[in-house]
Chains A and B, each alone.
Chain A
């Protein structure tokens, strides 16, 4: 199938304006008759559902959590980018676009990324109007900070809880529409399949997780806003319930899955302590503004960090990347940590950790504070106390979280950190309008593939989720809906609903009837182990080939031996998990296939066979400058390619040196 990205004509900076000027509209009287299903209530889903309801559409919103406010966007810490240039430091829409494109290792679609940068400013305006309490300067204006992979200060933030505040803003907007009767909210519901009629998405089959009953829901269009698939690795910074099911079911109903191998390993997470570990906790990238990353220069150095003198420390990021230092992009920074630990310089009990040290920042801030207060002869101790108070104001909640988990005080000893799975750049293929390869089926936010290429820069996920929901889909959906004004709501007694519901029912019964000997979690852990070892931070042909076979075998074993207690028509968290893990067992194989196909290194995808002499990722543009969009067929996954073209930027070897 030829993929048409439907990129509008005109110069790059005019495309979105041209599109909006000419896109078909739906009259208010017709919007009232059109129904939209939104799956997921994170930043993308909540903002889309609220905005479409404000426009007058009838919206049904679904989430598996007990409240839409708990979607995992809530956990995003650091911030959200926008090209406001409030700091007068040379930022612009073009620069935000360029750095996002470069940060993604030139593997994203220019037109989408450019539009993202264009609407970024509107997002900040909207959120402030909603009462999002962003950090401010004493003069009352908004504050900004730096984030990895950029050289300007364009990140807006609310302490270390930016995602929480943005989501609560969108959640408020959503609940307002619920109160007005424009949105019907279905919490503790999970989407189990898409219903297609005459090639168009016309609804979903959802399971009420409290009663276990299956429900049929009609929509003129369906929006998948269900987040990323990082939990295919079992251990990740995602929430326990984060899953790929909605996207994967869409894939099996005809939506192509693009670049599944582009997975982001975040450099600053709290290291694993043991087999009991159920998830990993991120320490915001913003910490790299003030924290310096180092390991001992000596192998297997077991001294305490404070006993290691300055000249015996290797600040390896500052050494290797003097231009960006500790503020390099995530993929580069993660690999550098792995390189040091693999070479035997790791710290902590497991030796799979590096130090993130705030001692210098505490001194620096302490001196400034002392100066501000006119203390010309402040003692070292006074400076330290003052410095700690500044660091606490900036990162207090993160330091407290670290201490709770590790029982170590990061004001006194450096944090120990190690990379962990965090975000997935791959996802359902969408065109410029965010429509998948299924008519009427859209995909927004982390669940789609479009804006971040092979690596996402920090503070860009929140930007993309809200861009898609607040400012893109309200326009692009009209183009499709204008053709649907003559379609009356289709009754859910239609055979297509019946057939889809029966298939879902059969699958659930099949899972329950296995009655094997191994728990769902146990299978999930085994899958995660394969993925992390063979399709993690570094990949090679041998490992990926083995992984594909291992996952196939594991999947077979799962369907013969999984044990799910309880019944179907009741609250049964084990059954919920089983359905998700069954989908991860299919997705895992596709990730490895995609990684095997892409014999180049780019962004978060590092193929050991393709690196520069100094160990950096080596792209092969002639061969791989395309989006790999996988098509599900009964015979297996088929590769389709969307060739990437570059009008504004010239792909180059990415350098942060």
Chain B
């Protein structure tokens, strides 16, 4: 099939971007969306032009690198899908497709369709783990875990950190991403000891990065390639409220409490 692509081109974070239009020809319906870009880039290289830069790696929907905003949808028209798993049978002869990078103040554009998602790493740094040094662990079956809880934790843990939730949200909120990690660890007995500091520190970091607030629109859930549920956001809000009201807050390594300004 023959298609028209309108692709966001931006040299780097400092320069302004604009759309550029390309005609692509003889695209097979069996190709993936990224393979269609491979075809375009091969042509641009042969014409001596700059190929379109985009993030991608595993091309099987699990690494979370690919990140294109296609016709107003994060990861394109298919539900529960990443761009790399979108196939060209989703399109028909003559279609025009608009492709942009994730749009968020917290995800600055590096080049073309490639953005900087280090903010997500920094949110994890703030508490997205269980503090257990290697070698400290008891036997794996010493702590029994309710299977239903374990499965719920797994569903939250399926997040691939792609950032589609942020791109899809009119407020640019990262609540789905943050709440998925908070939920995973809150649901497991192993995560309990740090639950107060974890949620407070991660939410604090999320705010510092410039992500917006949740407006209960649920675009994030609709566009999430792994089907992460907005129930996680509700759970995080409960965890956050509980932690904020906890009398134990002063005894926890919570960043929002600045030890330099503490009275005493």
Contacts and interface: CB of A to CB of B under 8 A. Distances in A.
A590 B94 CA distance: 47
Contacts of B80: 400
A69 B133 CA distance: 19
A493 interface: no
B190 interface: yes
A571 to B, nearest CB: 4
Given A54-B133, A66-B55, A133-B184, A565 B45 contact: yes
A67 B114 CA distance: 13
Contacts of B57: 65, 70, 72, 239-241
A370 to B, nearest CB: 22
Given A69-B64, A74-B63, A519-B42, A240 B87 contact: no
A161 B62 contact: yes
B58 to A, nearest CB: 4
B121 A67 contact: yes
B129 interface: yes
A9 B124 CA distance: 44
Contacts, number: 213
Contacts of A70: 57-58, 63-65, 161
Contacts of B139: 125
Interface in A52-79: 54, 65-70, 72, 74-75
A16 B45 CA distance: 54
Interface string B110-136: 110010111011001110111111111
Interface string B164-190: 000000000000000000001100101
Interface string A7-48: 000000000000000000000000000000000000000010
Given A130-B129, A142-B140, A239-B58, A175 B63 contact: no
B35 A278 contact: yes
Contacts of B116: 66
A629 to B, nearest CB: 30
Given A273-B30, A404-B87, A565-B49, A129 B137 contact: yes
A277 B89 contact: no
Interface in B30-85: 30-32, 34-35, 38-39, 42, 44-46, 48-51, 53, 55-65, 78, 80-81, 85
A83 to B, nearest CB: 12
A574 B188 contact: no
B58 A565 contact: no
Contact of A131 (B48, B64, B188): B188
Contacts of B93: none
Contacts of B28: 274, 276
B157 interface: yes
Contacts of A522: 42
A522 B126 CA distance: 44
Interface string A183-224: 001010000000000000000000000100000000000000
Given A239-B63, A521-B42, A172 B130 contact: yes
Interface residues of A, number: 81
Contacts of B56: 240
Interface string A142-162: 100000000000000011010
Given A75-B63, A175-B121, A471 B134 contact: yes
A570 B110 CA distance: 10
Q: Is the interface on chain B under 10, 10 to 19, 20 to 34, or 35 or more residues?
A: 35 or more
B45 to A, nearest CB: 5
Contacts of A241: 57
Contacts of A176: 125, 129, 131
Interface in A223-246: 237, 239-241
Contacts of A405: 32, 85, 87
A623 interface: no
Contacts of A107: none
A179 B12 CA distance: 28
B251 interface: no
A418 interface: no
B144 interface: yes
Interface string B125-162: 11011111111111111011111001101100110110
Given A161-B158, A187-B118, A405-B85, A175 B140 contact: no
Given A54-B134, A133-B184, A67 B118 contact: yes
A141 B130 contact: no
A514 interface: no
Contacts of B137: 122, 125-126, 128-129
Interface stretch (A91-99, A163-171, A409-417, A456-464): A163-171
A565 B65 contact: no
A126 B135 CA distance: 7
B128 A175 contact: yes
Nearest to A570: B12
Contacts of B59: 239-240, 278-279, 281
A142 B141 contact: yes
A566 B137 CA distance: 50
Nearest to A404: B85
B42 A75 contact: no
B191 interface: yes
A131 B130 contact: yes
Nearest to A270: B60
B154 A67 contact: no
Contacts of A125: 137-140
B65 A65 contact: yes
A474 interface: yes
A462 to B, nearest CB: 14
12 contacts: A125-B139, A128-B137, A137-B147, A140-B146, A164-B62, A173-B134, A239-B58, A274-B28, A276-B31, A276-B39, A278-B32, A570-B11
Interface of B: 11-12, 28, 30-32, 34-35, 38-39, 42, 44-46, 48-51, 53, 55-65, 78, 80-81, 85, 87, 89, 110-111, 114, 116-118, 120-121, 124-126, 128-141, 143-147, 150-151, 153-154, 157-158, 160-161, 184-185, 188, 190-191
- Which 4 pairs across A and B sit closest by C-beta, in order of nearness? A140-B144, A172-B129, A129-B137, A133-B154
Given A130-B130, A171-B124, A241-B57, 13 more contacts: A47-B134, A65-B57, A69-B64, A125-B140, A126-B132, A126-B137, A128-B137, A140-B144, A165-B157, A175-B124, A282-B60, A571-B12, A571-B53
